[in-house]
């Protein structure tokens, strides 16, 4: 922040005329606002990553471990990474039962492979196992032929997996928006000089355009509204003490130049 006040005895009584000595106040964002915005963006990004991990990796890994727990230690050693078929769902059970009604074992096997998209995730002479992201199908064999189908849902359901993915996407979008907001906050730049006031892309608002300072919400909300005219239309620019590091100096200079009532000075005087 740079403050260059005018020299004593050189003030002009006409507020619309430039001061004889250059006056310039620059202000960036407050440290508190930068830190809070950064923390919020980091929190949302972290939560998005957490949900994304559970939705695409964590929950599936838990279900795969649960599938493998159905096997003996020796059998698990044979399939450290069993094939997972997205087609293995509760809705596929009817098709699996139809497949096992075929006459010979080869036809039954081919029908199940066509239904699920490949060979069993694990098989031995007692059963064929098909593992899905959140469901498993066990086909009991007798004399090499399917005789019974046992199905079971995994602990983490597809609904839970989808909800984690959805939350990850939503929070990912929120994180991106917060990142853009963070960039805008860090680039906050106000300049008040003899040409008027500029805040970001707004301005310059010339001194003769400034009409009044609305301070109704200052004590409760910490902001004031600068009312100014622009091509015959009244507009307002909000100045917030939480947003601007040099808020007190800016308001003092505005009020001194335009003979407005200074809400900061009044509050300090109470």
Instruction: Quick: pLDDT tens for 154-170.
Output: 999 999 999 999 999 99
Band the pLDDT of 30: cuts 50, 70, 90: very high
Q: How many Cβ atoms are within 10 Å of 171's Cβ, its own excluded?
A: 21
pLDDT digits (tens, 9 = 90+) for 184-201: 999 999 999 988 999 988
pTM of the full predicted structure? 0.73
Residues 225 and 236 sit within 8 Å (Cβ to Cβ):
yes
More confident residue, 90 or 269: 90
Decide if pLDDT at 9 tops 60: no
pLDDT digits (tens, 9 = 90+) for 92-104: 989 988 888 877 8
Instruction: Output the pLDDT for position 14.
Output: 41
Q: Is 8 exposed, middle or buried (0-12, 13-18, 19+ CB in 10 A)?
A: exposed
The domain limits of the chain are 55-157
Q: How many Cβ atoms are within 10 Å of 13's Cβ, its own excluded?
A: 6
Instruction: Output the pLDDT for position 53.
Output: 97
pLDDT digits (tens, 9 = 90+) for 206-230: 999 999 999 988 888 888 999 999 8
Band the pLDDT of 177: cuts 50, 70, 90: very high
Decide if pLDDT at 205 tops 60: yes
Sheet architecture: strand order including 122-123 = 122-123, 127-131, 135-142, 145-153
pLDDT digits (tens, 9 = 90+) for 11-23: 433 444 444 356 7
d(CA 53, CA 36): 26
Decide if pLDDT at 110 tops 50: yes
């Amino acid at each position: 922040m740079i403050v260059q006040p005018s020299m004593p005895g050189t003030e002009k009584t006409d507020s619309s005329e430039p001061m004889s000595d250059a006056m310039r106040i620059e202000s960036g964002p407050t440290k508190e606002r930068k830190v809070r915005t950064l923390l919020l963006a980091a929190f949302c990004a972290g939560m998005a990553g957490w949900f994304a991990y559970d939705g695409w990796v964590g929950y599936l890994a838990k279900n795969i471990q649960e599938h493998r727990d159905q096997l003996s230690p020796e059998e698990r050693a044979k399939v450290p990474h069993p094939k997972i078929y997205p087609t293995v769902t509760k809705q596929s059970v009817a098709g699996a039962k139809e497949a096992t009604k075929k006459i010979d074992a080869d036809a039954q096997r081919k029908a199940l492979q066509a239904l699920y998209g490949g060979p069993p995730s694990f098989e031995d002479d007692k059963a064929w196992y098909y593992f899905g992201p959140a469901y498993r199908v066990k086909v009991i064999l007798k004399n090499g032929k399917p005789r019974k189908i046992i199905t079971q849902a995994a602990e983490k359901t597809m609904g839970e997996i989808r909800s984690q993915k959805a939350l990850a996407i939503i929070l990912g979008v929120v994180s991106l928006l917060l990142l853009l907001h963070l960039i805008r906050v860090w680039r906050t730049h106000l300049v008040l000089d003899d040409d008027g006031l500029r805040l970001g892309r707004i301005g310059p608002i010339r001194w003769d355009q400034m009409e009044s300072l609305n301070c109704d919400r200052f004590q409760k909300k910490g902001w004031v509204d600068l009312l100014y005219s622009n091509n015959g239309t009244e507009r307002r620019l909000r100045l917030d003490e939480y947003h601007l590091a040099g808020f007190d100096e800016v308001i003092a200079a505005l009020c001194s130049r335009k003979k407005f009532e200074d809400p900061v000075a009044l509050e300090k005087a109470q």
